[in-house]
Chain A
């Protein structure tokens, strides 16, 4: 199984500042034939299901604010929030769908400093 490891576990950031969450996979999730990274990012607020933010590592889901961006390739990925808003307080998860079983990271809790 591909193990997804996120860092940090908890991230305090001031309002308006940049937040950076990392995700590392135990093996590459890049398909050379398709030239795509099989990685997604989700946001989960308390009492709610996860919400899709990013797929193919960097494609923003429709309706997601452009302050959210995804980058990286192979085994190392980053979710960046360019200017933290109060409503961005949540737990963030990465997910690989390159191989079965699909796996999620353990989550990063983003909070206001």
Chain B
């Protein structure tokens, strides 16, 4: 059974860096058919896709324009996981952050597997 298990702090101070990790079981972060995504959800923004990574020798990363200068998604093949770093966060980025798997392709496609979600509050 494929699962995504998220971990990371639930409280981040404004202007600091949000860091989350998504551990994969039952699939491989280097899969030829999957891409690994981060999505957030808040009452004000709704569901918002942030970015993805997949293995294409080397790794391919793609980010949404609104956070492109502040976001990094990395894969760790030794631990079979991927991570999100979002710098200089503001209180309106308080949201539930999800990792998710999608079918790899030119288009970002649909998300067939999701992590449990992490509520990240940006507050001093």
Contacts and interface: CB of A to CB of B under 8 A. Distances in A.
Indicate, yes or no, whether A interacts with B.
yes
B98 A102 contact: no
A102 B108 contact: yes
Given A97-B108, A100-B108, A51 B47 contact: no
A97 B52 CA distance: 14
B49 interface: yes
B61 to A, nearest CB: 14
Given A40-B110, A101-B64, A49 B117 contact: yes
Contacts of B46: 104, 106-107
B65 interface: yes
Q: Which has the most chain B C-beta neighbours within 10 Å: A40, A48, A49, A107?
A: A49
Contacts of B98: 49-50
A95 interface: yes
Contacts of B109: 55, 97
Contacts, number: 45
Contacts of B77: none
Interface residues of B, number: 19
B107 interface: yes
Contacts of B117: 48-49
A100 B51 CA distance: 11
A51 B43 CA distance: 18
A49 B116 contact: yes
Nearest to B37: A102
A50 B110 contact: no
Contact of A61 (B47, B65, B66, B112): B112
A49 B114 contact: yes
B107 A50 contact: no
A13 interface: no
B47 A52 contact: no
A50 B64 contact: no
A38 B110 CA distance: 9
A77 interface: no
A104 B108 CA distance: 13
Nearest to A99: B107
B108 A50 contact: no
Nearest to A34: B107
Given A102-B49, A102-B108, A104-B47, A49 B115 contact: yes
